[in-house]
């Protein structure tokens, strides 16, 4: 992505250029309360997944795969134990006890020996590694025998996966407020990563997402703001500030970030405003505030204190315009702290879209 695109997209926004690494000590502070916007609207979840097996702080981040046939799965991390795989109806399908996985992301058409696979990557914030797992869409099978743990220099917190040009890049966020970017390949000796760059994001940072269409990278600094960067390391680290806590109803921590794509560059950028149990949407590619919504009680209970989120625009039999998946911190309102029962909620995109218009 060129700086011309950044200037065009950031009209009326704050843009800054970062030079070198700055001090990035993690600062833990209680977020001041921010009231949601007056126009915040409710949506309800169509259904939910089973509660993850671990009690307390456990479920964290989802990733969605939808095949052209309309089949697919939802992956969800249990950061105490491994990776859950759910059907597109939210039923438990498989579980991989891969350890303390925090965040997960995926991309299609990752080729190994000429065969296209769905590549899943997950961060392990108790070990200095990420986990890579393959899924064969044609046979509807995961390949756990090809799973690899890849050691890294930093302690990975959040993770995002994208295609930069024809290459697959892994983005790593950290509690220290530094972002790392790696190229990921599969060669004669299996999976391998090579570091491409690092730059400061500020303080503790978890959520990130690549938009492959526009070669954009979006990062949420928990108490700092929602930012745009060029995805291609060759294009530098010019930063556009899209929103900060206190603006647009945003309240820290800012957590999961995801893109609902429309056409070549349109759609929505959505971030979890964890502090006030809501989600904020900005238009693409111009980053205009479009609306704020909450997931209220309906067919299933409401969501609170959401970490990870994901969305797809791909059509399924039940959701012709795609759907939105979020982590729910407390599936049972009467559970005591440390013994929360957590899961993932699924929302029809049409409900969200109706409120954004």
What lies within 8 Å, CB to CB, of 284 at 6+ separation is 211, 214, 259, 261, 262, 265, 266, 267, 268, 269
Residue 226: beta bridge partners? Answer: 220, 243
- 72 sits in the region (left: phi over 0; alpha: psi -120 to 50; else beta) called left
My answer on whether omega of the bond before 178 falls inside 30° of 0, hence cis, is no
The span from the CA of 9 to the CA of 3, in Å, is 10
Residue for token digits 């997209």? Answer: 9
- What is the pLDDT at residue 8? 30
Q: Virtual CA dihedral for 353, 62, 123, 264, nearest 10 degrees?
A: -30
Q: What is the pLDDT of residue 26?
A: 39
pLDDT number for residue 338? 63
Q: What is the pLDDT along the chain (357 residues), one digit of tens a residue?
A: 333 323 333 333 444 433 333 333 334 556 789 999 999 999 999 999 999 989 888 999 999 999 999 999 999 999 999 999 999 999 999 999 999 999 999 999 999 999 999 999 999 988 999 999 999 999 999 999 999 999 999 999 999 999 999 999 999 999 999 999 999 999 999 999 999 999 999 999 999 999 999 999 999 999 999 999 999 999 999 999 999 999 999 999 999 999 999 999 999 999 999 999 999 999 999 999 999 999 999 999 999 999 999 999 999 999 999 999 999 998 866 566 666 789 999 999 999 999 998
Q: Is the peptide bond before 89 cis (omega within 30 degrees of 0)?
A: no
pLDDT of residue 56: 85
Show the domains of the chain with their CATH numbers: 3-18+58-293 (2.120.10.30)
- What is the rounded distance in angstroms from the CA atom of residue 353 to the CA atom of residue 349? 6
- The pLDDT value recorded for residue 333 is 62
Q: What is the pLDDT of residue 16?
A: 40
Tell me how many degrees the CA angle 350-122-168 measures, rounded to the nearest 5.
Answer: 85
* Strands, sheet with 82-86, edge to edge from the N-terminal-most edge strand: 59-66, 72-78, 82-86, 92-96
* Whole-angstrom distance, CA of residue 70 vs CA of residue 61: 22
In our burial notation (b when 16+ CB lie closer than 10 A, e otherwise), range 90-101 reads beeeeebebbbb
Please give the pLDDT value at position 330.
87
Give phi and psi for 7, each to the nearest 5. -60, -40
Q: Are 61 and 103 in contact (CB under 8 A)?
A: yes
DSSP labels for 214-276? Answer: TTEEEEEETTTEEEEEESSGGG--EEEEEE-TTSTT--SPEEEEEEEEETTTEEEEEEEEGGG
The tokens of 110 are what? 């990752």
CA angle 98, 99, 103 (to 5 degrees): 90
**241/339 Cα distance (integer angstroms):** 37
Name the nearest CA neighbour of 291 among 352, 214, 347: 352
């Amino acid at each position: 992505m060129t700086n011309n695109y950044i200037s065009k997209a950031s009209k009326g926004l704050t843009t800054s250029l970062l030079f070198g690494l700055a001090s990035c000590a993690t600062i833990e502070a209680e977020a001041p309360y921010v009231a949601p916007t007056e126009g915040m609207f409710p949506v309800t979840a169509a259904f939910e997944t089973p509660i993850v097996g671990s009690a307390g702080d456990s479920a964290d981040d989802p990733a969605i795969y939808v095949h052209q046939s309309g089949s697919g799965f939802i992956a969800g991390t249990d950061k105490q134990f491994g990776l859950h795989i759910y059907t597109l109806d939210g039923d438990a399908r498989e579980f991989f006890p891969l350890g303390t996985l925090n965040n997960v992301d995926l991309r299609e058409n990752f080729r190994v020996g000429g065969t296209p696979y769905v590549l899943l990557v997950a961060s392990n914030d108790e070990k200095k590694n990420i986990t890579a797992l393959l899924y064969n869409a044609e046979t509807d099978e995961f390949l756990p025998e090809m799973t690899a743990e890849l050691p890294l220099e930093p302690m990975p917190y959040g993770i995002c996966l994208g295609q930069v040009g024809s290459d697959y890049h892994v983005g790593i966020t950290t509690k220290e407020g530094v972002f790392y970017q790696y190229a990921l390949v599969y060669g004669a000796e299996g999976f391998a990563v090579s570091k491409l760059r690092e730059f400061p994001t500020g303080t503790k940072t978890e959520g990130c997402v690549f938009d492959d269409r526009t070669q954009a990278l979006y990062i949420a600094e928990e108490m700092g703001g929602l930012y745009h960067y060029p995805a291609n390391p060759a294009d530098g680290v010019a930063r556009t500030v899209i929103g900060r806590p206190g603006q647009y109803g945003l309240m820290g921590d800012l957590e999961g970030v995801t893109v609902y794509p429309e056409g070549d560059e349109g759609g929505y950028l959505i971030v979890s405003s964890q502090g006030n149990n809501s989600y904020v949407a900005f238009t693409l590619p111009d980053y205009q505030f479009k609306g704020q919504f909450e997931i209220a009680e309906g067919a299933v209970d409401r969501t609170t204190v959401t970490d990870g989120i994901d969305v797809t625009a791909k059509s399924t039999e039940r959701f012709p315009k795609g759907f939105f998946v979020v982590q729910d911190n407390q599936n049972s309102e009467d559970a005591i702290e440390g013994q929360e029962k957590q899961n993932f909620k699924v929302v029809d995109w049409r409900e969200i879209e109706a409120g954004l218009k």
